[in-house]
Structure 1
Amino acid sequence: MTMNDLIMHNLIQLISTHTGIQIRKQDYKDFCNKIYSRLKILKLNTPEQYYEVLLKVSQLQSVSYKENDSINEWKELVMLLTIGETYFFRDRGQINLIKNKILPELITKNRNNCHKNKDKKPCLKIWSAGCSSGEEPYSLAIIVKQLIPDLSDWNILILGTDINPESIEKAQEGIYDSWSFRQVEPQIQKQYFHQRKMRWEVDRQIRKLVKFRCMNLSQEAFPNQFDLHNIDIIVCRNVFIYFNSVAIATVLEKFYQTLIPGGYLIAGHTELHGQNLGQLQPIIFPGSVVYQRSENLQVASSSGSNSSASKLLLKSDSPQENTSIKQKSVLNLNSSKNVMQTPTQGRSLSQNPAPETAYQSVLKQAEIFFHSGEYARAIQAAKQVILLQPKHFDAYFLTAQAWANLGESEQAIQYCQQALQVDNLSEKAYYLLAHIAEEKGDKEQAKALFKKIIYLTPSSIGAYLEISSIYAKEGDIDRAKKMLNTALELLNNLSAEEYVESYHKITASELLLQVKAILSTFK
């Protein structure tokens, strides 16, 4: 269903003003479907009537609705617009950066400051802003417990907030399906979670470290309103993608005021590209760009200008190499043309290949860099493999994956397409392209790519589940159910304990239960 441009504009503006959430043009169809689903539930006839219901949140009088009905409807709409998909230890690159670099630095500094100032206990404060159902703050709590053996001698605050009250309720419950553990090592899952039939509950000691509350980042007056001062790390990933530029600038300024001098803001890859960073200092690590509040309290305001490349810092794995880089070097790092040239230029494909051991050792090193979250190094190593072996599929695909994890979708697409020139039947290359299309909001392209996978590999359970999810989001329940039922048939052909391809350590029986649970939600 569609609605006229005027009421569409009014609803989008009202939502943006009230929540900071920006409805992108590519999401208009999905947005309309969600609005009409609320009309049906509320038994309203027109989008204009629904607009009036939302508008009454700031009014005292109401004709057919009580005052708090409007407030409740805002909660329902926010839950509909911000359904988040997350899992434990998401984005290994950033998780490794937090665990191996940022947290150890802060722990040492805070412990030393405690001794210097003769405080009773050192303090560490971490805020997961936009925590969804809680996997991220619990992941951070596990890392903190691993890094601080004398935890009882510290004052620890790990806070998870989200605008969606339903997500916060689930986070406080602390019980998760196996799908949330698809990137978790078995020993970590066994140590910090307790199995409850087919679900897993967060260990009590970890739960005690984390507090949750609902918060509207755009509207609420933190840090003063919630006494959120001197936070060491703010993790706010996949949140700014919902915000318009005004809301982003507002939230960034509040984050700056919330951080302790020297504290870090960690956002999703490229989420803040081109945005006004205010007084936050961008710093490049091999696995991610992070943003730091300067140790100097007298830092001058940027006067609304976007941060320039000359302000960037590049940090390496070695502490002695953590030095500022001149502007020219930083610009070279940020230029995709300088980072990666077309690998086959200037080299004939018919040249004799280099000895096998020469490129295999380099590829192995590239894979080590990739799996440790050092994506920039992985790209450079894979580039050397491509120079030695211009038709090496794994080198192209590894490069594509690394660019994707850095948030550089166009570079990822380029190298994925080059991988497909080497092997045009590669299922995993089409998977990556499909996920990139979905991230960019191009659902039609994503569906076409998943259909291509099904054509190439009719037994691909993952492709059926992925395309079912897209159909469900579009409101096409019949097709979603059809895809899920096909996946069920394929799962029934596997042995119960057999691991499902494309799913990290999930057995056929476990995935079968999850698919049945999803089907049961469709009326």
Structure 2
Amino acid sequence: MQIQVLQKDELSTLKELISGYTGFTFTASREHTLVQALSAFSKVHNCTSLLQFEHMLRTSDALMKKFTESLLIHETYFFREKDSLAQLISLLEKKNDGNNTGASVARIWSAGCSTGEEPYSLALLLLESAFKANFRIVGTDISQQAINHAGNAHYSEWSLRSLNSAQREKYFERGLKTYRLKDETAKQRVTFVKANLTEENQLSREWSNLDAIICRNVLIYFEQQAISKIAKIFFHQLKPGGILLTGASDPPLIGCADFEVEYTATGIVYRKPELQIYKAARRSQAATPMKSRKSINKPVVVTLNSTAQANAASAGHAKTTFEKAMQLYRTGQWQDVVKLLAPQPSISRSLLIRSLLNLGRTEEATILAEAACQNEPLDATNHLLLALVMMSEQRQRDAAAIIKKALFLDRNYIVAHFLLGISCFCTGDRNQALKSMKNAQNLLNALPAGAAIPLAEEESREQFQANVQRYLTII
């Protein structure tokens, strides 16, 4: 016996059930896949009604897993959309330029990797790049069967259809029926894990603070609510400056998470912004007297050639320590920044908190920021640091409320207007987001050319204007 589906609306409950379990959506063009799987499974399990089959799915996790796996389309092959993979490697090389690419280990997540062709392709290309063997890739898929196949690294000729004979001979060893990936270094650099993209904490802490995530032609199978959730998970897993690549057919993620967006010839590139922690050393530290509201509201212009950094510390030792911490931070040595500043946080609470956030030590960053706000409630920078911690935790509404406190204390705080615009945009308040970005733009326009933005680390007026304009375009 098997179930006969007469009307498409009869599938609505089943589609909701599958969507709740996987996040998948079934458009009209994909309903035939669901009907085919339903017919096959109902015949095997002797089901005569949809209600009976739905009950079996609800009560048997094993059957649910097997049924959802049958709905997956494992259509992939080696070096698929090779230009996109090459672009990712180029972006990673540029990101690490000046940070000794050869010694830096690139850490990448191939999300929805199917049977492993994509992560292995990326590994082979990375081995021939400036990274050499200095990379690690984790490939995930919801299908355990696909993960097992990927770990086996044996493929049919169909998976190699984009490779010429020289490439096949270079990378694979031919067997009776399959081709075995013979590059042991590529296989050693790739790990496979079963994971559902819609569920948080699927990857271990080992795979946090990633350099890049590649998720191509996967999001098309998910409903919008699931897509938004996945985007936030990706954002959280990336390190500041980390890159996300999706497929040309995937839905845009603009507004789903606080990514910077770049349109390229091979598709959209999403980038997690570098955390804009601003020079707390320029403001009063906990050991110095609090400023009055009048002095806080006074506009400040700092030229690039000024001695603002030198004046950030009150003593020669503090100045030397601050400069050393800044150099360590610029080269990504955040753990060393924490070791240097933790015993004396007043030298630069800003650098210390930013480093903690980059290391994923949010709880410690929160404690420091909250203590600063309690000790100096009239210092706008302290409130902004706390808001940045909240933004790193995707608590955009809470962050917006704190940023407004900072703006109450300093209405000329350009960075605060900018971050308020981002928070409001992420929560769907486009009108306020637009207003805040325009406020930042107007304040920037009032500054002289070549001026550095007060409290915005190492960014000139022109650089910051470009950031504001980018968000104005998106909003």
- Quote how far apart the aligned CAs of 1:186 are: 3.4
Q: Does 1:2 align with 2:125?
A: no
Asked if residue 217 in structure 1 is aligned to residue 340 in structure 2, the reply is: no
Post-superposition shift, 1:326? 10
Paired-residue identity, %: 27
Matched, 1:17 2:20: yes
1:139: Cα distance to partner? 0.4
Q: Measure the CA separation in 2 of the matches of 1:149 and 1:93.
A: 18
Aligned to 1:197: 176
- Whichever residue aligns with residue 144 of structure 1, its letter is L
Change in 2 beyond 3 A, CA 1:275/1:103: closer
Instruction: Give secondary structure in 2 for the equivalent of 1:277.
Output: coil
Assess, with a 3 A threshold, how the Cα gap between structure 1 residues 35 and 248 changes in structure 2: closer, same or farther.
same
Which of 38, 44, 64 in structure 2 is aligned with 1:41?
44
Report the equivalent of 1:98.
88
Change in Cα spacing, 1:296 to 1:31, as seen in structure 2 (3 Å) is same
What does 1:178-197 correspond to in 2, within 5 Å?
178-197=157-176
- Give the match's secondary structure for 1:211: strand
Contact 1:176 1:201 in 2 (8 A): yes
- Any idea what SS the aligned residue of 1:147 has? coil
| Paired letter, 2:38 | I
State whether structure 2 residue 53 is matched by structure 1 residue 50. Answer: yes
In the TM superposition, residue 222 of structure 1 has moved relative to its aligned partner by 4.1
Unaligned stretches of 5+ residues in structure 2 = 277-387, 389-418, 438-464
Identify the residue that residue 365 of structure 1 maps to in structure 2.
none
**Counterpart selection for 2:112 from 102, 121, 130:** 130
Equivalent position of 1:29 in the other structure: 32
For 1:47 and 1:187, the matched residues in 2 are separated by 52
Match of 2:67 among 77, 81, 84: 77
> In structure 1, what is the equivalent of residue 246 of structure 2?
267
Q: Distance in 2 between matches of 1:146 and 1:294?
A: 28
Q: Aligned runs of 1:282-301 on 2, under 5 Å? A: 282-296=261-275, 298=388, 300-301=422-423
Q: Which of the two has higher C-alpha Rg? A: 2
Alignment of 1:168 with 2:150, yes or no, is: no
Question: Where do 5+ consecutive residues of structure 1 fail to align?
Answer: 57-69, 115-120, 312-322, 335-523
Deviation at 1:199, TM superposition (A): 2.3
Distance 1:307 1:88 in 2: 42
Asked whether the equivalents of residues 244 and 269 of structure 2 are also in contact (C-alpha less than 8 Å), the reply is yes
The residue aligned with 1:410 is none
AA partner of residue 215 (structure 1): A
Secondary structure, in 3 states, of the residue corresponding to 1:86? coil
**Kept after mapping to 1: 8 A contact 2:200/2:233:** no
Q: CA deviation at 1:282?
A: 1.2
| Inter-CA distance 245–2: structure 2 relative to 1 (3 Å threshold) | same
* Aligned-partner residue type, residue 216 of structure 1: N
Partner SS for 1:127: strand
2: distance between equivalents of 1:274 and 1:219? 18
Q: How many residues align?
A: 297
User: Are positions 1:241 and 2:220 aligned together?
Assistant: yes
Deviation at 1:42, TM superposition (A): 1.3
1:276 is aligned to: 255
Q: Are the structure 2 counterparts of residues 175 and 248 from structure 1 closer, same or farther at C-alpha, using a change threshold of 3 Å?
A: same
Q: 1:307 to 1:41 in 2, by over 3 A?
A: farther
Q: Are the structure 2 counterparts of residues 91 and 21 from structure 1 closer, same or farther at C-alpha, using a change threshold of 3 Å?
A: same
Contact 1:78 1:163 in 2 (8 A): no
**Aligned partner of residue 44 in structure 2, secondary structure:** helix
Distance 2:430 2:22 in 1: 26
TM-score (norm 1): 0.52
Partner Cα separation in structure 2 for residue 52 and residue 231 of structure 1: 40
Deviation at 1:17, TM superposition (A): 1.0
The CA RMSD measured in Å over matched residues stands at: 3.2
For residues 169 and 277 of structure 1, the distance between their equivalents in structure 2, rounded to whole angstroms, comes to 32
Is the Cα–Cα contact under 8 Å of residues 241 and 272 in structure 2 kept in the other structure? Answer: yes
Q: Distance in 2 between matches of 1:150 and 1:167?
A: 27
1:89 CA drift (Å): 0.8
TM-superposed CA distance for 1:241, in Å, is: 0.6
| Corresponding residue for residue 235 of structure 2 | 256
Cross-structure match for 1:232: 211
- What CA distance in whole angstroms lies between the structure 1 residues aligned with 2:205 and 2:32? 37
Cα 1:306–1:73, aligned 2, differ >3 Å: closer, same or farther?
A: farther
TM-fit CA distance, 1:25: 2.2
SS of 1:254's equivalent in the other structure is helix
In the superposition, the TM-score normalised over structure 2's length comes to: 0.57
